[in-house]
Structure 1
Amino acid sequence: MGTRSSILERLFLFLILLLRLPLFQARTLPSDTQALKAFKASVIPSSIPPSSCLASWNFAVDPCSLPRRTSFVCGLTCSPDSTRVTQITLDPAGYSGSLSPLISQLTQLTTLDLSDNSFSGQIPPSLSSLTTLQSLSLRSNSFSGSIPPSIINLKSLESLDLSHNSFSGSLPSAMASLAGLRRMDVSFNKLTGPLPKLLPPNLIELAMKGNSLSGSLNKFTFEKLNQLEVVELSENALAGKIEAWFFQLPSLQQVDLANNSFTGLETSRPVGGNSDLVAVNLGFNKIQGYAPANFAAYPVLSFLSLRYNSLRGRIPLEYSQSKSMRRLFLDGNFLIGKPPAGFFTGNGGAVLSGSLGDNCLQSCPANSQLCTPAQKPISVCKKVYRGRP
């Protein structure tokens, strides 16, 4: 009798759990499911490896249902109540295809990351409907066309990475309206034109390397960027003078303006003697004049490259007296005289590395790595200095 009662109790509990189960498995909003189906349908089937995230997207099962044992096992995150899709983060599986315009139906999406795949085509303008989107990464794909002006409607955006694609044209002029944007990387595309007149005011990192940007560095573009720490604008066609205000941006730490066409350089000592500037790369430009001694006054500057410009005159003695300088590249200029002895006897307790080669220096110790490559022929140096030295 007791055994029969126990069996009935277990059966009763099982039925109760079965009845209650739907309460814990709320279904995905139909428009979200429709958007996911369109997203997968826009991916070329032959580019979906069997073991990839997208291969597990089986719509015979509700996308946000739990537990996810065999379907939707990765690439997707849903809200706590399992009704809305909040993140799409694909694995780098080599997916190819386009980005479906129906992505706009995922109105609770906070992260869209398709990095390191082979997606192509244009960004659909409908993407601007994703007003809750905080992070957008299309890095290392084959997207092309212009960056749609409607991207400025993504008011919640904090991180934007469109690097390593084939985007062309110029950046939308109203980028400053993305007040929450902290990190922007559009490096290695085919962007042209000048920098925007205004950039998002809360940027921490700005990377626009490897494009065809032109024009000069405008103070108005940067003057409100009080939190900017990293500026990477190398491998463009920027020109004109780099002025002193640029290095005095209050939070600036790293600067890379190498491989451009800058011709002038103006520096001053940091305001109040304080600065967080750690690294400056101005190599491979067309900068003329003297090597600026003021860089030695930046208290934590440890890396400075002015290599392969058109600098003349002597190496500032202050460089050898800096307590923070660890790597110095002055090679490929027309510097004269003897390099400061402090370079070869230790710099604040550490030996300096870098290069002073391919200049017009005298008595640069041949046994020092700093003095390679060899100095320019005397005939070249005399021609530059019109017979002197």
Structure 2
Amino acid sequence: MAAASCLPLLVLPVLALLAAAAAGAATVSDDVLALVVLKSGLSDPAGRLAPWSEDADRACTWPGVTCDARTGRVAALELPAASLAGRLPRSALLRLDALLSFALPGNRLSGPLPDALPPRLRALDLSGNAISGGIPASLASVESLVSLNLSRNGLTGPIPDGIWSLPSLRSVDLSGNMLSGSVPGGFPRSSSLRVVDLSRNLLEGEIPADVGEAGLLKLLDLGHNSFTGGLPESLRGLSGLSSLGAGGNALSGELPAWIGEMGALETLDLSGNHFVGEIPDAISGCKNLVEVDLSRNMLTGELRWWVFGLPLQRASFAGNALSGWIKVPSDAAVALEALDLSSNAFTGAIPPEIATFARLKYLNLSLNSMSEHFPASIGQMSLLEVLDVSANKLDGGVPPEIGGGGNVILFSFFFLIICRDLSHNKLTGPIPMSMGNLTSLQTVNLSENMLNGTLPMELSDLVNLRVFNVSHNLLSGVLPISRFFDSIPYSFISDNAGLCSSQKNSSCNGVMPKPIVFNPNSSSNPLSDAAPSYTGNQHQKKMILSISTLIAIVGGAVIVIGVVTITALNRRARATASRSALPIALSDDYHSQSAESPENEAKSGKLVMFGRGSSDFSTDGHALLNKDCELGRGGFGTVYKAVLRDGQPVAIKKLTVSSLVKSEDEFKQHVKLLCKVRHHNIVTLRGFYWTSSLQLLIYEFMPAGSLHQHLHECSEESSLSWMERFDIIIGVARALVYLHRHGIIHFNLKSSNVLLDTNGEPRVGDYGLVNLLPMLDRYVLSSKIQSALGYMAPEFTCRTVNVTEKCDVYSFGVLILEILTGRRPVEYLEDDLVVLSDLVRGADEEDRLEDCMDPRLSGELSMDEATLIIKLGLVCTSQVPSQRPDMAEVIGMLEMVRSPQGTPEDDLV
């Protein structure tokens, strides 16, 4: 009786009813009993199951329940996004032996999948929950199953061998889990299969050779796994396949010409692999192709003519080594809405014929070697929303046609440009007044050019402006008067001849260098760069002004002239140095403080690049570094941006712990191990360079910057949304799960090491470098590598405690708090130091977590949801390592609180 008294009150009558039913004395139907048992094991905060009562004769009127009209038995149980939590009891499901459809997507269900299901079940949808464990092999015995959707859970382990043997199976979606191992073959037995989505897992090995023998496939998505090898030739037989996705893997070889035989293909995604060679013209046989993504491979040759001849709407070839002129045929199709040719080696002029694409909304030609004048014809593209031609060699002025000339009404109404990036070219002359006509303009980047003159006052009309970066030019005069320009970050206008805001005080503090002032009452150095005091007595102020005004004006003029002269000489010197670098073509994409001048190497090392047959390029490692292309500095070293001679942009880390690095053999062995890391949320290591005094690591380049920049250096209007932040949290968690499964401790996780790709997806970098050192010297690592105070687990200060994966969990917890609060892990005040985890923990204890939330998320953030994630961050930052969850458990918790990402398709049921 003591044990029974501990049971929930609701369970006691249910158990009694079940016992009576088993004895043949049931007073209600088995379906009612089964559903009440199911309810007893679930948490129902929204009260959706309140009408479910054991006192009812039938369940057909209950929410989510549908009965067969003939038999009265429960045929469907469908409760999407009902906030249900808990585990699914096996006994309840088995008792619903007439159930045909069981759909509880977008809830918070946890625990393992039941190892037995109703025998007549045709549709099972448990997507978007927090279900963990493996997929039971018994699932392959439910021969009536037509549709299976277990996506976006925390499932692990292999895919059951017999799953393709189910005779009626038409749709399988297992995406967004952590399934591992190889994909079982046996596709020829799946005569009814239409949809297979295995994307975003940890699957590896080669794609099954017989996958193409499931002849009725319409959609096949294997993207963002770790598949190797090439595309199996059996795919050419899928004449009805409309969507093929295999991006984000490690596939290699040349693109097969037989892709052109897949006449029904509408979407082709092979991005983020290691495909080489030219793009075959035979792909033009796909007459229905609407979207193609071949970005981030190693493709060479010219852009194929069919890109402009098919009914393509979206095409991306970014991040390859395509070269030559971009040729637009006279009879080109005009269906294109998005074209991304960035990060290649295209030369010549931007073809003015590009303006014939009247539907084009997105055009990215950045990071190429295109030259000559910017074509005025682009001003005719009335639907263009994003234009990025940064990091080319364009010269001349910004054409006035870019804003529609003088026809302000027409282009204020029709010209809806959202983002315009002309940075890192050789543009000269003034910024045209007509840019003020683009009233929907949000982002402008004209940095690193040679623009001069003043900013047009018409820019004040750009009420939607979020970013206006004109740094590193020759501009002068006052800024336009508007809410945006009154609070513009200094980094957007730095390194100009004399930009100044009329809304600031007369010294233009924070915009121009402070004037030199001689203070006759100062006993210190007569040359002071401090701003004059306006709080002293009036007589002293007048004396300072009268004595120093003339000197300040003359001195300021000399400084300005000197700055302009030195800037011009530096630009010329950089251009000369860039042209002289034979093995490397450097793209001057970032400006930062000068890096240390490299010492001359007595012996040249070897640059080893992975992927293209492990080809080695002999070169001087210092030629890879350009101090003007410094991206940032961290505990392990300085990071530079460079463009290799094949046109590929890369990020190069120059290690500054050379004296601690292991021997050359151990270094190369460990680096080659890291190069095998392949995950869609991890930055790929592409190569390395070694000499005894210089070690370089070459990574793929992430153009969208770091999470740190987006959290702490962006304006309120351009900050990350809540859903974007949530996706980043989950992406980083998946990256750590992958690293930990492969025995790699990141150790240096922080927001500056979380980078964003062109799609806004998080990519974790700087992983596994601690293993390059001969031993874990606590002082060196804590002061040099863990340079961002606040991320380091407390046990690391104890020499007797081993560094484990729980150190990464602690850093991840701090990252969660940083993302939700928008505050740095440690903030330094005048006489105090605020540690973020302590601050949030105190707010939690005082029940005022809402005060900690980033105000930029106001209006889009559910506090119930935010509180759960904040508490997860606090659990991860527990002082005792054993009290922190592992990262697989973290994924399950995050999925449990994630909002539904959409309603699954059920038209195949």
Indicate whether the TM-score tops 0.5: yes
Aligned pairs for 1:190-339 (under 5 A) are: 190-199=226-235, 200-220=238-258, 222-268=259-305, 275-294=310-329, 297-339=332-374
Aligned residues: 331
Write the deviation string for residues 87-130 of structure 1: whole angstroms up to 9, x where unpaired. 11114321111112121221111011111111111112121320
State which of 342, 345, 348 in structure 1 corresponds to 2:377.
342
Q: Give the Cα–Cα distance (whole angstroms) in 1 for the partners of residues 323 and 346 of structure 2.
A: 5
Structure 1 position 55, deviation (Å): 2.5
Aligned to 1:165: 201
Q: What code does the residue aligned with 2:396 have?
A: S
State which of 424, 434, 441 in structure 2 corresponds to 1:374.
424
Q: Give the Cα–Cα distance (whole angstroms) in 2 for the partners of residues 382 and 138 of structure 1.
A: 51
Q: Contact (CA 8 Å) 2:257, 2:281: kept in 1 or not?
A: no
Structure 1 86/310 Cα, relative in aligned 2: closer, same or farther at 3 Å? same
Structure 1 318/98 Cα, relative in aligned 2: closer, same or farther at 3 Å? same
Q: Contact (CA 8 Å) 2:228, 2:252: kept in 1 or not?
A: yes
Aligned to 2:96: 63
> Could you state the TM-score of these two structures normalised by the residue count of structure 2?
0.34
Aligned to 1:359: 392
Q: Give the Cα–Cα distance (whole angstroms) in 1 for the partners of residues 336 and 371 of structure 2.
A: 24
Structure 2 SS opposite 1:362: strand
Structure 2 SS opposite 1:88: strand
Q: Which runs of 5+ in 1 are unaligned?
A: 1-17, 29-49, 76-81
Q: What code does the residue aligned with 2:336 have?
A: L
Structure 1 299/109 Cα, relative in aligned 2: closer, same or farther at 3 Å? same
Q: What code does the residue aligned with 2:88 have?
A: A
Q: What code does the residue aligned with 1:177 have?
A: E
Write the deviation string for residues 159-192 of structure 1: whole angstroms up to 9, x where unpaired. 1010111110111112221111101111110001
Q: Contact (CA 8 Å) 1:303, 1:328: kept in 2 or not?
A: yes
Write the deviation string for residues 57-109 of structure 1: whole angstroms up to 9, x where unpaired. 543862235899xxx7857xxxxxx9611111114321111112121221111
Structure 1 279/295 Cα, relative in aligned 2: closer, same or farther at 3 Å? farther
Q: What code does the residue aligned with 1:332 have?
A: L
Q: Give the Cα–Cα distance (whole angstroms) in 2 for the partners of residues 176 and 380 of structure 1.
A: 53
Q: Give the Cα–Cα distance (whole angstroms) in 2 for the partners of residues 53 and 132 of structure 1.
A: 30
Q: Contact (CA 8 Å) 1:120, 1:144: kept in 2 or not?
A: yes
Structure 1 SS opposite 2:144: coil
Structure 1 336/135 Cα, relative in aligned 2: closer, same or farther at 3 Å? same
Q: Give the Cα–Cα distance (whole angstroms) in 2 for the partners of residues 290 and 143 of structure 1.
A: 44
Structure 1 170/179 Cα, relative in aligned 2: closer, same or farther at 3 Å? same
Answer with 55-64 or 329-338: which moved more: 55-64
Q: Contact (CA 8 Å) 1:216, 1:239: kept in 2 or not?
A: yes
Structure 1 SS opposite 2:396: coil
Q: Give the Cα–Cα distance (whole angstroms) in 2 for the partners of residues 380 and 148 of structure 1.
A: 55
Q: What code does the residue aligned with 1:283 have?
A: A
Write the deviation string for residues 274-310 of structure 1: whole angstroms up to 9, x where unpaired. 7321111001111122223249812211211111111
> Could you state the TM-score of these two structures normalised by the residue count of structure 1?
0.76
Structure 1 171/284 Cα, relative in aligned 2: closer, same or farther at 3 Å? same
Structure 1 316/144 Cα, relative in aligned 2: closer, same or farther at 3 Å? same
Q: Give the Cα–Cα distance (whole angstroms) in 2 for the partners of residues 356 and 330 of structure 1.
A: 5
* Percent identity over paired residues: 25
Structure 1 328/293 Cα, relative in aligned 2: closer, same or farther at 3 Å? same
| 1:130 maps onto 2:177 in alignment | no
Q: Contact (CA 8 Å) 1:53, 1:73: kept in 2 or not?
A: no
Q: Give the Cα–Cα distance (whole angstroms) in 2 for the partners of residues 179 and 192 of structure 1.
A: 23
Q: What code does the residue aligned with 2:357 have?
A: S
Write the deviation string for residues 17-47 of structure 1: whole angstroms up to 9, x where unpaired. x9xx9x936799xxxxxxxxxxxxxxxxxxx
Structure 1 position 248, deviation (Å): 4.6
Structure 1 SS opposite 2:244: strand
Structure 1 SS opposite 2:339: strand
Q: Contact (CA 8 Å) 1:165, 1:189: kept in 2 or not?
A: yes
Aligned to 2:8: none
Q: Contact (CA 8 Å) 1:321, 1:342: kept in 2 or not?
A: no
Aligned to 1:47: none
